């Protein structure tokens, strides 16, 4: 007799939270999941984990899960439970009807970086092969799309250059716009271990994040910049390196486009980029900035890790290119211990981008305008692909408000809570005639949906996730899908209801198609993943064991490309009405909009969003710790409690966005990155005042 709670068997799978991609042993008793044990052979985590992966899986069994499809004619009608067949027929009829009435480009898809590679591949295939347009976008639009643009332009591909192990060979670590302790805890532990062993740390962040406090004080530089001035700070560091003769010219001559370097070096030498000239703008004392630049250029192996504090700005792509410039300038790309590494927020941001979920790119970051690339997919899919890039998420919402975009399939993404300017998102959704939400729970976006398709959790599916170091990890089915279908099967049902004839019976067949059409995945099969545990792309004939370090013998694009990075101030300005700058982020125990973690015991560690405010700013407003405050911007207002702390600088306030009651994105604006439309979540001019509560 096996008692409940005694593990009887286990399945190795991958955490579905952050981009570290920890491997876990899911231990079961009968069909009950007893516990998640970090797997010691997991190459990304080596037996370690954080409180999310270890404990926050109960949402998969939560009573709020919706297990039957539902439909309704109008969003004011009550939901009606129906069979899968009826739901698909309703959805297909509406979507095809919209295309007939308003044109083929009137519908589209938003997919999620929470989904597997195979699911994402199928969703973009649905858009291109069945809808007949390129209106497919991903939640990476609102996080790492500038990484795609910036690293693509400078290095030739959109991916971190290193594996996590590489940090053990780093002498100077730059962390910019990231808070690994909360966002990427297992990697943060490795980083701290390296810092304890003597590596120097440079943190560029408006907040005094945990890493600053835990690093040895004499080895840490904290450049507490004013939100929105990343480009100026990175350029000032480059200015010091070039004008003080610290640039790695031999490396640059050999590895980079020399003419472009000369143009960049002329640009960056200009005194307007000096730390002294930019001190007033950035708020970073010139002496501190010079010291940090010298430490990075002369301290040995230098590696840069960055997060959404870099990308979610009107100059997100410019900062990514500035970071790449800095790494090339100091010869810090192409060997162990160095490199440029975006810390991907969600479990499969890397994979979601790899799989062609952007409206301009087919899988493998190949532009949809390329006839040769289209031909590969046209042959594999037996259809003609539209050469015109489709709509990005904000364009879809704008077009919906204008009346030209009418139908949306939204998979695993709660755009009403996660995207900026909630009022505008709601207006866009309300203007659509068919919104299909495919999710575990009736989320906020589902308030505007006509069709609800129940999703499956990571415990109920087979597939792969690709982590921040390009490592393709297997996700294995731990239990049968509670709704009867894995998510890729639901997409297939919808495609077939709309006239396709897809016959996949297992995600391994989808991976085989990915390998066939995408050179960097050509050597990836489920058999290879079983044998090796995981592989890092590119994995193909040239690299059968995968590629832990990129750009070793040369950049993917050939010569590394320096790009001039002019600082342009955001249009979001402080003033008498809105004198403070709000920036946002997340906390260790919770995850993004909280749809999962709030339905687990982790909520005990963080049951509300609070507003961090500096003691000086609190005092002039008569605020005490735990007081209710009104937080208002040009876009909207909300109420939450104050946390008085010197973690934030004077003039800066900070909050998380885990709780729908707070609706932090009611506050954020629709300003966005010039190249990719990634929203400017990290800079909003606000006012804070006393309030009586919500």
Point out which residues bind ligand SF4 (CB under 6 A).
15, 17-18, 20-22, 45, 49-50, 52-53, 184-186
Least gap, CB of 18 to ligand SF4 (angstroms): 3
Q: Beta partners for 582?
A: 653, 684
Contact 658, 587 (CB under 8 A): yes
Least gap, CB of 20 to ligand SF4 (angstroms): 4
406 or 474: CB nearest ligand SF4: 474
- Least Cα distance to 247 among 332, 345, 346, 359 occurs for 332
22 or 60: CB nearest ligand SF4: 22
Question: What's the sign of the alpha-carbon dihedral 469, 150, 583, 295?
Answer: positive
Contact 242, 308 (CB under 8 A): no
Distance of alpha carbon 173 from alpha carbon 684, whole angstroms? 29
Contact 574, 580 (CB under 8 A): yes
111 or 347: CB nearest ligand SF4: 347
H-assigned helices in 432-506:
487-497
Least gap, CB of 285 to ligand SF4 (angstroms): 34
476 or 641: CB nearest ligand SF4: 476
Distance of alpha carbon 39 from alpha carbon 25, whole angstroms? 6
20 or 629: CB nearest ligand SF4: 20
Q: From residue 604, how far is each of 201, 278, 598 by CA, in Å? A: 32, 43, 9
Task: List Cβ neighbours of 370 (8 Å cut-off, separation of 6 or more).
Answer: none
Least gap, CB of 658 to ligand SF4 (angstroms): 14
Cα within 13 Å of Cα(70), Cβ side: 25
115: alpha, beta or left? (left if phi > 0; alpha if psi -120 to 50): beta
Distance of alpha carbon 589 from alpha carbon 53, whole angstroms? 10
Q: Which residue is nearest to ligand SF4 (CB)?
A: 53
596 or 668: CB nearest ligand SF4: 596
181 or 311: CB nearest ligand SF4: 181
Least gap, CB of 308 to ligand SF4 (angstroms): 15
Least gap, CB of 279 to ligand SF4 (angstroms): 37
50 or 293: CB nearest ligand SF4: 50
Least gap, CB of 116 to ligand SF4 (angstroms): 15
- Least Cα distance to 685 among 651, 645, 642 occurs for 651
458 or 567: CB nearest ligand SF4: 458
21 or 339: CB nearest ligand SF4: 21
181 or 518: CB nearest ligand SF4: 181
SS3 of 568-593: CCCCCCCCCCCCEEEEEECCCCCCCC
Say which residue the tokens 């050999």 belong to: 254
384: DSSP letter:
P
Least gap, CB of 681 to ligand SF4 (angstroms): 20
Q: Which long-range contacts (CB under 8 A, 24 or more apart) does 373-377 make?
A: 376/517, 377/128, 377/517
Least gap, CB of 184 to ligand SF4 (angstroms): 6
Question: What's the sign of the alpha-carbon dihedral 32, 36, 37, 41?
Answer: positive
468 or 528: CB nearest ligand SF4: 468
Q: Both tokens of residue 689?
A: 């005042």
Least gap, CB of 466 to ligand SF4 (angstroms): 13
53 or 481: CB nearest ligand SF4: 53
152 or 185: CB nearest ligand SF4: 185
Distance of alpha carbon 201 from alpha carbon 160, whole angstroms? 19
SS3 of 28-40: EECCEEEEEEECC
- Least Cα distance to 663 among 625, 602, 609, 613 occurs for 609
Distance of alpha carbon 60 from alpha carbon 637, whole angstroms? 33
Least gap, CB of 16 to ligand SF4 (angstroms): 8
Distance of alpha carbon 607 from alpha carbon 588, whole angstroms? 12
Least gap, CB of 331 to ligand SF4 (angstroms): 31
| CA angle (69 as vertex; 65, 75 as ends), nearest 5 | 95
Q: From residue 142, how far is each of 316, 343, 353, 394, 679 by CA, in Å? A: 11, 14, 12, 10, 6
578: DSSP letter:
S
186 or 440: CB nearest ligand SF4: 186
Cα within 13 Å of Cα(655), Cβ side: 31
Contact 151, 158 (CB under 8 A): yes
Task: List Cβ neighbours of 668 (8 Å cut-off, separation of 6 or more).
Answer: 420, 421, 582, 584, 633, 635, 679, 680, 681, 684
Question: What's the sign of the alpha-carbon dihedral 371, 377, 382, 387?
Answer: negative
Least gap, CB of 534 to ligand SF4 (angstroms): 13
490: alpha, beta or left? (left if phi > 0; alpha if psi -120 to 50): alpha
Least gap, CB of 46 to ligand SF4 (angstroms): 11
Least gap, CB of 17 to ligand SF4 (angstroms): 3
Least gap, CB of 50 to ligand SF4 (angstroms): 3
Least gap, CB of 594 to ligand SF4 (angstroms): 14
Contact 612, 71 (CB under 8 A): no
Distance of alpha carbon 592 from alpha carbon 476, whole angstroms? 24
17 or 296: CB nearest ligand SF4: 17
359 or 594: CB nearest ligand SF4: 594
């Amino acid at each position: 007799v096996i008692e409940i709670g005694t593990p009887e068997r286990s399945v190795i799978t991958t955490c579905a939270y952050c981009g570290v991609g920890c491997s876990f042993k899911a231990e079961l008793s009968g069909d009950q999941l007893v516990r998640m044990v970090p797997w010691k052979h997991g190459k990304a985590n080596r037996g370690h984990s954080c409180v999310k992966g270890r404990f926050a899986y109960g949402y998969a069994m939560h009573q709020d899960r919706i297990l039957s499809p539902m439909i309704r004619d109008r969003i004011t009608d009550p939901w009606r439970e129906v069979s899968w067949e009826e739901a698909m027929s309703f959805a297909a009829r509406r979507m095809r009807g919209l295309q007939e009435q308003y044109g083929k480009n009137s519908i589209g898809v938003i997919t999620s970086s929470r989904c597997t590679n195979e699911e994402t591949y199928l969703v973009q295939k649905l858009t291109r092969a069945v809808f007949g347009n390129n209106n497919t976008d991903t939640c990476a639009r609102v996080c790492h799309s500038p990484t795609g643009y910036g690293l693509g332009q400078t290095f030739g591909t959109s991916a971190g250059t290193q594996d996590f192990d590489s940090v053990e060979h780093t002498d100077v670590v730059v962390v910019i716009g990231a808070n690994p302790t909360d966002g990427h805890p297992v990697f943060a532990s490795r980083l701290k271990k390296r810092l304890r062993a003597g590596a120097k740390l440079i943190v560029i962040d408006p907040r005094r994040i945990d890493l600053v406090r835990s690093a040895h004080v004499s080895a840490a530089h904290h450049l507490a910049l004013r939100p929105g001035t990343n480009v100026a700070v990175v350029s000032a560091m480059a200015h010091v390196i070039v004008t003080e003769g610290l640039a790695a010219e031999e490396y640059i001559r050999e590895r980079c486009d020399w003419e472009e370097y000369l143009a960049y070096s002329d640009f960056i030498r200009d005194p307007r980029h000096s730390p002294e000239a930019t001190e007033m703008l950035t708020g970073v004392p010139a002496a501190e900035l010079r010291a940090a630049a010298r430490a990075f250029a002369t301290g040995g192996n230098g590696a840069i890790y960055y997060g959404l504090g870099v990308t979610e700005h009107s100059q997100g792509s410019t900062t990514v290119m500035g970071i790449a410039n800095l790494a090339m300038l100091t010869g810090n790309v192409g060997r162990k211990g160095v490199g440029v590494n975006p810390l991907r927020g969600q479990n499969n941001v890397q994979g979601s981008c790899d799989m062609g979920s952007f409206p301009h790119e087919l899988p493998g970051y190949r532009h949809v305008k390329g006839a040769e690339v289209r031909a590969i997919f046209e042959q594999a899919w037996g259809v003609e692909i539209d050469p015109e890039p489709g709509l990005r998420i904000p364009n879809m919402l704008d077009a919906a408000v204008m009346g030209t975009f009418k139908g949306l399939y939204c998979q695993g993404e709660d755009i009403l809570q996660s995207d900026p300017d909630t009022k505008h998102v709601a207006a866009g959704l309300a203007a659509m005639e068919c919104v299909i939400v495919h999710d575990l729970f009736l989320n906020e976006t589902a308030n505007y949906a006509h069709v609800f398709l129940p999703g499956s959790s990571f415990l109920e599916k087979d597939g792969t996730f690709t982590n921040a170091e390009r490592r393709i990890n297997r996700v294995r089915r731990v239990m049968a899908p509670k709704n009867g279908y894995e998510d890729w099967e639901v997409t297939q049902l919808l495609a077939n209801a709309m006239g396709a004839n897809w016959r996949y019976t297992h995600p391994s067949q989808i991976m085989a198609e990915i390998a066939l059409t995408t050179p960097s995945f050509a050597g990836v099969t489920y058999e290879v993943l079983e044998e090796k545990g995981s592989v890092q792309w590119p994995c193909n004939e040239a690299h059968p064991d995968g590629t832990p370090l990129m750009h070793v013998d040369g950049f993917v694009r050939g010569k590394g490309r320096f790009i001039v990075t002019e600082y342009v101030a955001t249009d979001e300005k402080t003033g008498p009405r809105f004198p403070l700058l709000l920036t946002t982020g997340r906390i260790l125990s919770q995850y993004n909009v909280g749809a999962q973690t709030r339905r687990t015991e982790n909520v005990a560690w963080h049951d509300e969003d609070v507003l961090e405010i500096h003691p000086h700013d609190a005092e002039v407003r008569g605020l005490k710790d735990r007081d209710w405050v009104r937080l208002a911007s040009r876009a909207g207002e909300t109420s939450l409690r104050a946390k008085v702390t010197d973690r934030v600088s004077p003039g800066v306030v900070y909050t998380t966005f885990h709780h729908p009651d707070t609706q932090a994105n009611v506050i954020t604006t629709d300003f966005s990155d010039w190249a990719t439309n990634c929203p400017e979540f990290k800079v909003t001019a606000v006012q804070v005042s006393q309030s009586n509560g919500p």
